Every structure is written in structure tokens, then in C-alpha cells.
Amino acid sequence: MTDKVLGVILGGGQGSRLSPLTQTRSKPAVPIAGKYRLVDIPISNCLNSGIHRMFVLTQFNSASLNKHIKNTYHFSHFSAAFVDILAAEQTVQNQGWFQGTADAVRQCMHHIVSHEFDYILILSGDQLYQMDFQEMINEHIAKNAEITIATIPVTGKDATDFGILKADEENMITSFIEKPKTGLEDWVSDTGAEMQAAGRNYLASMGIYVFNRDFLINILDENPDEKDFGKEILPRAIAANRVLSHQYEGYWTDIGNISSFFEANLGLTDEIPQFNMFDSSHAIFTRARMLPPSKISGTTLNRTIIAEGCIVQASKVEHAVLGIRSRVGKDTVITNSYVMGSDRYQTLAEIESETNSGNSLIGIGDRCFINNAIVDKNCRIGNDVKINGGSHLPDGDYPLYAVKDGIVVIKKGAVLPSGTVI
């Protein structure tokens, strides 16, 4: 059945809430868990579900995302599988950028329909979850639905941030409201005993949709002024068509801002993380880098994930993620932090030249203290640098770093001289 399904992954907009991580890259290209990119999650979910044909729709800061996909997803010449980029483009019919999720699919439809498929699976490129889409598609077909929306039970506190749905006894959606601020009591759903016991009484849209091919083509053609699925297309379709709720109860988080991104990454260091990277049935695929093993010298490690190719001489690393090629100097302490690593190693000649010139090397120097921080790629942090994030720091954006919700984000490629204190 999956040979009748085509996946479309939306690359997202400007991603301003995830800034400064999105100043030079799109949201789906942001590194996660030390070695992956966010876009690897929906692509891996598709591959694990037997869906091997995907388009990724991109627009903002798309160069690094395009490069990652080009270098990562290669298939046999004898296979129909592909992961292709569809970038926003000017055409005779359309001179503008994508104006929303539905508009992005509409503008790319002439490329999409050149392939054979009966169902189209539309996904977001900035969510963290592990889901078998085959179950959702099978239910969509069995219930004779025209659209199926993946839903997740949420608490009243979280409901105000999502589109909230109500469904009947057949799980057909009867009504929808976008980010309700009042009257929540009218939107309580029967989410099941386990979910209700956890206070998760509201059905939220996950931004994951299955459409019948012809239905999607027609609804986009008939309403050319409607730009967004969640705000315009779906609410109107619910009133007139068979729209199914497929309830998902596993781990899922929307990487919408720095705080959620930070929590999702550090959550991976838990003894039994909610997002299980070690589950072979839900493998996460990414670019295969020929990196050496990591080397650790004299370091106390606790609740820490260390990617390939790291050289760590720190005194302690705790509740942290160290990304590929991370270099950490002697007597340094890193806690509650995500260090993304770097894109290359400096040669011994470069290291000698930089050291003789008094310049900081790529990585983190000696005798540093880093807490409650995200260190983006290719940063040069000198010796005796102190970074201590927390609620005592006001939000702000500065040339070398930003502070959001008490989290210090060192910008990509920033150079912090020795002795810097934040």
C-alpha cells in the first residue's frame, strides 16, 4: 500500500522563534542530538513506514538543508525511492514566495502530480517523534476518509497553543478551533482512560495529514486564496467532508522555540528517554560521516551523549549533548548544555599558528564553565570563559550570543575571547 503514498515535508517559514539557530539555516536543518538534522526525523519516519518517495519543500535559508539532503539520501539505481528538494520558484503563474502551508503545496503541485500516487502524506519538518504512518494510512482507507489528521491528547495548559478538534464516535472530526484562549470546557474529548488520567483531555492537531490525491488537488484549485491548511483549508473541509482523527499517544514535541529545542535535546540524556534513539525498529537516518571514534581523557561523564569524532579533556560533563567533532579543553566543566560541535577539524599546523598568534581554537578551551547554554557549530571559545545561563539573565540579542528563557545561545561561528563572562 505504501507504493501508493507520496510524502511531502514542509520546510517551514522563517523560524524566527528558533533564532539565532535559524539565522543562517532553515528550521529543518538545525542540528539535533549531536549528529542529526531535524529534517531527518520525518524522513526516517517515512522510510521506517515503507514510504520511500518524498519531496521536501524549502524556502528560507535553504542552502544547508539542500546540501544535507543531497549528501545523505541516496538510493539504488534500481529503486523508485527518492528524497527531492522543491524550492520556492517564480513561474509564469506565480511570482511570489510560499505564503503558507497550503500555498506551498499548491505552488509545487505541478511537480508532485507527475508521480503516481493515491494518497499524499503531508508532514512538518520541525517535529520530534517516532510514528508508524502505515497505521494512519490503513485507518484512512478503512474509514473511507478524504482527509485524516494525526491528533495527540494534550492538557488544558497546552491546548491554547494548538488547533483543537472534536470528533464523533467514529472518530470523524466535527469541529475545529485554532488556539482557543477561552471556553476550553466545550472542547473536552474522550481521549481514553490513560490519557484522561494524565489530564490530557483535548485533541490537538499534530500538523500531520493524509489526503486523497484528487481531493487535495480539487480543494487547492477551488480555493486559491486559502494559504494555510490549519487555519483555512481544514476548518472548511471539516464542515463538508469526511475528516478522520487518528489519535497518537507516543512522544511528540513541536520544536517551535529555543526552550522546547533545548528541553528536547537534553531530554535525550535521560536514563529512559521519551524519544528512543536506540530503537532499531525506528532507526534515525542521517549523513554517513567517516569520523573517528571519540576520545575522552580524564573526564567525569554523567547523563551525557557524545557524538563521533570528539576530543574531550574536560574535568566534568553532565546532563549535556556534545555534537560531532566537539573539542573540549582541560579542567572545563559543562553542565545542562548542548554543544553542537564543528564542521571540520583544524590541522596541527593551523592549531600551532592560531596558538602562537593568541587566537582561540575551534571548540571550547581550558578551564571554562558552561551551564544552561547552546553552543552552535564552529564556535571558538577561549580559555577561562564563564557562561552561566539561568532565570537571572534577561532576554536579549547581542552580536555573539542571545539569551532566551534563561538559555544562552552562542551564535554559529562566534569567537569568545579568553576570559569572557556571560
Which residues sit opposite 421 in a β-bridge? 386
Q: Are residues 91 and 151 in the same domain?
A: yes
Least confident piece of the model among 183-187, 267-271, 407-411? 183-187
Q: Are residues 331 and 389 in the same domain?
A: yes
The verdict on residue 101 lying in a domain is yes
Nearest-10 Cα torsion for 78, 83, 87, 89:
30
- When computed from its CA atoms, the radius of gyration of the chain, rounded to whole angstroms, is 23
276-326 pLDDT, tens digit per residue, is: 888 888 899 999 889 999 999 999 999 999 999 999 999 999 999 999 999
pLDDT band at 413 (very low <50, low <70, confident <90, very high): very high
Residue with cell 524519544: 275
Query: Within 186-323, where are the H helices?
Result: 193-197, 213-222, 234-240, 258-267
The verdict on residue 276 lying in a domain is no
Average pLDDT of the segment spanning 221-247: 84
Q: Are residues 304 and 206 in the same domain?
A: no
Least confident piece of the model among 93-97, 101-105, 397-401, 408-412? 93-97
Phi-psi region of 189 (alpha: psi -120 to 50; beta: other; left: phi over 0): beta
Last residue of a domain, one of 232, 267, 302: 267
CA distance 373 to 167: 42
Last residue of a domain, one of 267, 301, 321: 267
The verdict on residue 210 lying in a domain is yes
Q: Are residues 93 and 231 in the same domain?
A: yes
Q: Can you give the CATH number for the domain in which 295 is found? A: 2.160.10.10
Q: Are residues 68 and 162 in the same domain?
A: yes
58-117 pLDDT, tens digit per residue, is: 776 667 788 888 888 888 887 888 888 877 555 545 556 565 677 777 877 877 878 888
The verdict on residue 88 lying in a domain is yes
Which residue, among 377, 372, 369, 370, has the nearest Cα to 405 in the 3D structure? 372
Q: Are residues 253 and 300 in the same domain?
A: no
Which residue, among 238, 295, 219, 304, has the nearest Cα to 269 in the 3D structure? 304
Q: Are residues 260 and 405 in the same domain?
A: no
Residue 211, burial from CB neighbour count under 10 angstroms (0-12, 13-18, 19+):
buried
Q: Are residues 239 and 303 in the same domain?
A: no
Q: Are residues 235 and 379 in the same domain?
A: no
The pairing of beta strand 407-410 with beta strand 401-404 = antiparallel
Q: Can you give the CATH number for the domain in which 85 is found? A: 3.90.550.10
The verdict on residue 181 lying in a domain is yes
CA distance 373 to 389: 6
Cβ neighbors of 310 (< 8 A, separation 6 or more) are 294, 295, 296, 322, 324, 325, 326, 327, 328, 341
Domain enclosing residue 366, as ranges: 291-416
Q: Give the 3-state secondary structure of residue 264.
A: helix
pLDDT band at 231 (very low <50, low <70, confident <90, very high): confident
What's the domain count of the chain? 2
Q: Are residues 16 and 84 in the same domain?
A: yes
Q: Give the 3-state secondary structure of residue 53.
A: strand
The verdict on residue 281 lying in a domain is no
Instruction: Of 7-21, 95-109, 395-409, give the range with the top mean pLDDT.
Output: 395-409
Q: Are residues 156 and 299 in the same domain?
A: no
The verdict on residue 275 lying in a domain is no
Q: Are residues 370 and 407 in the same domain?
A: yes
The verdict on residue 273 lying in a domain is no
Last residue of a domain, one of 221, 252, 267: 267
